[in-house]
Chain A
Amino acid sequence: MKFDNGIDSLGTEGLSLNCNPSLNLDMRAQQELIDQLYLMIHIRFIEHKIANMRKMGHIGGPVHLGAGQEAIAVGISRYLRKSDKIFSGHRSHAHLLAMGSDPYRLFAELLGRSTGLTKGMGGSMHLWDGPNGIYGAVPIVSGTVPLAVGAALALKMQNKDDIAIAYFGDGAIEEGVVHESLNLARQLCVPVLFVCENNFFSSHMHISQRQPSNSIARFSRANEIETETVDGNNIIDVENAASRLIDIARNKKMPVFMEAITYRHYGHVDWQEDADVGINRSQSDLKLWKLKDPIVRLESALLEVNFLNKDELQKRKTDIHKEIDSAWKLAFDDTEPESKSLLNFVYKG
């Protein structure tokens, strides 16, 4: 299967071991690129930490990890403000962390501690971080897509130039409410960025088993919404598209749509990378996709042009690991919610 922009579905064509798809870094400030790299590494290491802690049983609930998909959230968030309203689904950690959510509070939430992002009431699948623009990430597939449209409507009525963002996956496009939402957003002319992270899998099912085409963008185009399909593992491509689309949403008060092609390293849920719910993904596909790892690609490009040297990269990685470990330890020692919080949050009043 080929995408309209030439990206093939499984990365099995035009890609050999020495053909690590290179990035074009021109027009980018050195420090900005390095910051983006470190942010992606920060998110990756957090996901690895969560995977390990889940495997060891410290985290009791399911975790949907986005390792391999970091470039999308990191690239898009570069153009977002903390006053924007971001909504997401079950695989949301990267969306929060890219906006600056505190890993300690994320860990605390995953551990069911009262200091967590949602005070221990949500776990990995129900996250909120309003001060960082995260208006809610919850796991009913496509459930938050219309919410983002409504938030965009509110922002337009309030005469703000903030926008709403709806992150969802390729499975969500099969839900009817997403099509209603695309039509409604276009008809109301509201500033919302729809981001479909197309990683080809909805739980255990490959997109070819679910849809007659692997192009998600066909649906946004059908609703006459400005659309870009990008290589979601190429942060430069993601940023270029995000910059253009977000500018349209912010300034013209119109919905825009990004389809970002990517691949997750882990299975649908929890820590195993070679297993999914029900069926195995192809190890060879995963291996090939890891060659297109967004972090490896940016690292290689930065090392190649001497924006970065190996020693400082290694040192930074060590520091990131240390920061994450101490955040975990801090969260681990926190207290659990009091029993009264079971009833305290049901109503506002």
Chain B
Amino acid sequence: MTKKTSNNYGSAIREGFAYLLKKYPEVFVIGQGLWSPWYVGNSMTGLDKEFGIERIIDTPVAESACTGAAVGAALAGMKPIMVHPRMDFMLYAMDAIVNQAAKWSSMMGGQAHAGVTIRAIINRGGEQGAQHSQALHSWFAHIPGLRVVMPYSVSDARDLLIASALSGDPVIYIDDRWLYSNVEKLEPVSELDLKTQGPKIIKSGGDLTLVSAGYSTHLALEASKILSVEGIEAEVIDMRVLSPISPKAIIESVAKTGRLVTVDGGWSPAGFAGEIIATVTEGISPKLLKSSPRRVTLPFAPAPSAPALEKIYYPTPEDVVKVSRATFSD
């Protein structure tokens, strides 16, 4: 990444919030820890001072009611952003997200929409263990009615947050604390239409397609550098929007490279890495595949807290390299 300015992933998110709060009076932010934002890195620092505690609402310990309230406020004309500093705690709010927000438009015949953005932060590592670590994007990508956004780049961290809040649909916006120190020079904000956003090729290559989102894209990109030294040019595709999925760019890439490796910070079974493989294999002729598609995911176990186990639990660029190499020996 270029280090031209001080805009990092966390401060870019903060810029997204500030942009929305300044321009749209119907935007407000609600969630736990917002008046003491060490919970969320540097991504919300001082917003309460700048925009007032009426619009930056720190709440009782009530994920379920607060998320439901954000949904209800959206139905009454606001553009709320609900913040869950750890996705694990958000599981208390599944009714509001899955039964209410996701289905509202459909149930009501398209006459009302729960335009709420739910920011879920993946906050793992540091020996935090099983309940402070989960990346559950695959769950939400399974549900019709939700849009699921997982920015990797610093500019996406800002611009997809803005696009989510303005989309009019319920959006699960998932950011990863492990990306917060990434730095990028940002262009001025241009409001994106979330509907039109999809996968982006962030590195071109003709030998292998790596598909990922969020922090996994960081792994894929690092892996591609190592592979390049070995003479393997990987095409790296950052998904950005996990649902509704736009598969065209991935399918075209695999049709070109003949090899697919998906990288995902979740578990394999019924997961997003497998979904990408299924979507691609359904979409191209099997003759075009030069090897079996493969995936790099977490071991099928809850996150450990012991440092020795944690070290082998989370995938590394080397893991991605290893699996990528294997596609050349089928």
Contacts and interface: CB of A to CB of B under 8 A. Distances in A.
Partners in one complex: yes
A126 B76 CA distance: 18
Interface in B91-123: 95-96, 99-100, 104-113, 115
B65 interface: yes
A151 B107 contact: no
B95 A184 contact: no
A301 B115 CA distance: 48
A128 interface: yes
A138 B72 CA distance: 13
A344 interface: yes
Contacts, number: 164
A116 B99 CA distance: 21
A87 interface: yes
Given A149-B72, A150-B71, A157-B54, A349 B106 contact: no
Nearest to A114: B109
Given A130-B111, A347-B145, A349-B167, A147 B78 contact: no
B15 to A, nearest CB: 23
A347 B105 CA distance: 7
Contacts of A150: 68-76, 80
Interface stretch (A38-46, A117-125, A261-269): A117-125
Contacts of A118: 107-109, 111
Given A128-B108, A153-B69, A143 B100 contact: yes
B67 interface: yes
Contacts of A348: 105, 110, 113, 115, 167-169
B204 interface: no
A164 interface: yes
Interface string A174-201: 0011001101100110000000000000
Nearest to B65: A180
B72 to A, nearest CB: 3
B110 A164 contact: no
Given A135-B76, A187-B60, A143 B107 contact: no
B59 interface: yes
A138 B107 contact: yes
B99 A140 contact: yes
A143 B169 contact: no
B72 A154 contact: yes
A85 interface: yes
B97 to A, nearest CB: 11
Contact of A119 (B80, B111, B194): B111
A148 interface: yes
Contacts of B244: 347
Pairs of residues from A and B, 7 with the lowest C-beta to C-beta distance, nearest first: A146-B68, A150-B72, A119-B109, A150-B69, A147-B72, A180-B65, A154-B76
Given A146-B65, A151-B75, 18 more contacts: A116-B109, A117-B109, A120-B109, A121-B107, A121-B109, A136-B112, A138-B100, A144-B72, A146-B64, A149-B72, A150-B70, A154-B72, A154-B73, A154-B78, A158-B76, A344-B110, A345-B106, A349-B168
Interface of A: 85, 87, 116-122, 126, 128, 130, 135-136, 138, 140, 143-155, 157-158, 164, 176-177, 180-181, 183-184, 187-188, 341, 344-349
5 contacts: A135-B76, A143-B95, A146-B71, A180-B60, A349-B193
